[in-house]
Chains A and B, each alone.
Chain A
Amino acid sequence: MGMRRYSMFAVAREALRFHAGWERAWKSPEPKSHYDVIVVGAGGHGLATAYYLGKVHGIRNVAVIEKGWLGGGNTGRNTTIIRSNYLQDPSAAIYEKARSLYEDLSQDLNYNVMFSPRGLLMLAQSEHERRGYQRTVYANNLQGIETEWITPQKVKELVPILNIEGPRYPVLGALYQERGGTARHDAVAWGYARGCSAMGMDIIQQCEVTGVRTEGGKVVGIDTTKGAIGCSKLAMVVAGHSSVLAEMAGFRLPIESMALQAWVSEPIKPAIDVVVMANLVHGYMSQSDKGELVIGGGTDGFNNYTQRGSWHHVEETTRALVETFPIISRLKMLRQWGGIVDMTGDRSPILSKTPVENIFVNCGWGTGGFKSIPGSGWAMAELVAKGEPGPLAAEFGLIRFREGRFIDESVAAGVAH
């Protein structure tokens, strides 16, 4: 334990002694020879898994192994959007669990994740979209998720810079989630890491997994660039590299790794205080606290591990958003980046047992990873601790691909990636 809490009093105390008393937010130990649970991947999902293993299930002899730096994968590469307006019941349940945990995550972690429930709009720009989103609103209301259908006039009130009159795709209304929004993505990873470290867990960075050791169909440990480490249970939470890790353990996943890009404009004064998703033209936009417009587009259609995407996506999405928000037409693009997303056929995640006993996999979040971090970690911790999925993870097992019980969100979420 021994984590010094952040508070107003701590700031005052440190102000009086030249800020000499701040300690590192998490420790960087060398690996021990054996852990009860090893989580591979110190991104948001992996760290949240470890955090709830300790906090909810009391399992604290845990290591989180990371080949790069903490939160340097998709956790540091997304557009920070949080929402739970999904159509299917299992998705709505786990994404809403995540969104509701985000509500007081800063208090829970004693780390400001800057959750900003500023409201989120999904524009309907065709008759199909209008009907689809109205259906989602009805479904959400039955699921206990607060969303509403709003008129074009209300859209214009919320987003004055939006051109609702087309010409090509007039806005016919929007699916509005008032408590959707954004959070500071790095802080989510850092906050969970600090919480894990305070519980005595080991976060080991710059340590790549090179092999998975099994005996009699059971996992016994992993080989890494820092040597062999034993474990009783192994949680694979590595998003884009899930297939690579699964290959080491001797099974295949229904996953394709692809590049997804985002980019930001130069910073401008506050212009938009909600998140707008225009899925028909395939772009989404919000404004960061620094003033940059944060823009996301679509995935490439082919396998890619390079964290670079194709340029034509940037052009297509920006072109569409310039039609939607005419005032952005003269802004310069400041920077662009890519992450490797793990896409499943039904665009829903996998939280599952695997063919190897005591190996559990949490992947397939694809383009929806950041928003789901707390819920994913919560459900994964339950799966790892008990060896069986709880109610949140129950429908997301690998078995659904054999049985044809897909949780089809590729159309329902309105996200055409």
Chain B
Amino acid sequence: MLILHCPYCGVDAEESELAPGGEAHLKRFGPGSSDEDFEAYMFARKNPKGVHFERWRHAYGCGKWFLAARCTATLEVFGTYKAQNPRPHPDIVAAVKAKRPGWEGWK
């Protein structure tokens, strides 16, 4: 079972008390943007096989949204960090690079 550490309340939460929220760090394109940008924001997803950054909510705990770095090919969790980070936290990036030396970095 997937276990993620909630960076807000400090609980190691099991999957059944978490709600997945999809890809993290998407740049929002709203009214006034081009059709291409809006479509990409709404639908086009990295869906990578490997290192991935995601939004999660501690739904049956403190209720807060947070972010996680995870490997979709092995289900390994690299770490979690607060949702206020507009890009992956440097500590998380370092943790991923330590375990995946060939990783190209977050784009």
Chain A residues at the B interface, C-beta cutoff of 8 Å: 241, 243-244, 247, 252-257, 300-306, 308, 310-312, 345, 401-402
Contacts and interface: CB of A to CB of B under 8 A. Distances in A.
Given A257-B47, A303-B54, A310 B72 contact: no
A312 B42 CA distance: 30
Interface string B32-57: 00011001101111111100101000
A312 B1 contact: yes
A312 B15 contact: yes
A244 B75 CA distance: 17
Nearest to B52: A303
B22 interface: yes
Contacts of A252: 40, 44-46
Contact of B47 (A253, A300, A312): A253
A305 B49 contact: yes
24 contacts: A241-B49, A243-B45, A244-B49, A247-B48, A252-B40, A252-B45, A253-B47, A254-B43, A257-B49, A301-B19, A301-B20, A303-B48, A303-B52, A303-B72, A304-B75, A305-B72, A306-B72, A306-B73, A310-B15, A312-B16, A345-B43, A401-B42, A401-B43, A402-B36
Contact of A243 (B19, B46, B73, B75): B46
Interface string B1-39: 110000000000001100110100000000000011001
Nearest to A310: B15
Given A254-B45, A310-B1, A310-B15, 7 more contacts: A243-B46, A243-B49, A244-B48, A303-B48, A311-B1, A312-B16, A345-B42
B66 to A, nearest CB: 14
Residue with the greatest number of chain B CB neighbours at <10 A, chosen from A243, A252, A254, A302:
A302
B84 interface: no
Contacts of B49: 241, 243-244, 257, 305
Interface of B: 1-2, 15-16, 19-20, 22, 35-36, 39-40, 42-49, 52, 54, 70, 72-75
A308 B75 CA distance: 10
Contacts of A303: 47-48, 52, 54, 72
B77 to A, nearest CB: 11
A257 B1 CA distance: 18
A253 B42 CA distance: 11
A254 B45 CA distance: 6
Contacts of B74: 306
Contacts, number: 64
A300 B16 CA distance: 11
B30 to A, nearest CB: 15
Nearest to A311: B1
A254 B36 CA distance: 13
B45 A401 contact: no
Contacts of B72: 257, 303-306
B46 A302 contact: no
Contacts of A247: 48
A376 B42 CA distance: 26
B90 to A, nearest CB: 23
Given A310-B1, A312-B16, A401-B39, A302 B45 contact: no
B47 A402 contact: no
B42 A310 contact: no
Contacts of A300: 20
A303 B49 CA distance: 9
Q: Please list the 5 inter-chain residue pairs (A to B) with the smallest Cβ-Cβ separation, ordered nearest first.
A: A254-B43, A243-B47, A301-B20, A252-B44, A302-B20
B1 A243 contact: no
B1 A254 contact: no
B40 to A, nearest CB: 7
Nearest to A300: B20
A256 B45 contact: yes
A303 B52 CA distance: 9
A408 to B, nearest CB: 14
A241 B39 CA distance: 21
Contacts of A253: 44-45, 47
A402 B35 contact: yes
Contacts of B15: 310, 312
A256 B44 contact: no
Residue with the greatest number of chain A CB neighbours at <10 A, chosen from B15, B42, B47:
B47
A188 B70 CA distance: 36
Contacts of A310: 1-2, 15
Contacts of B39: 401-402
Contacts of A301: 19-20
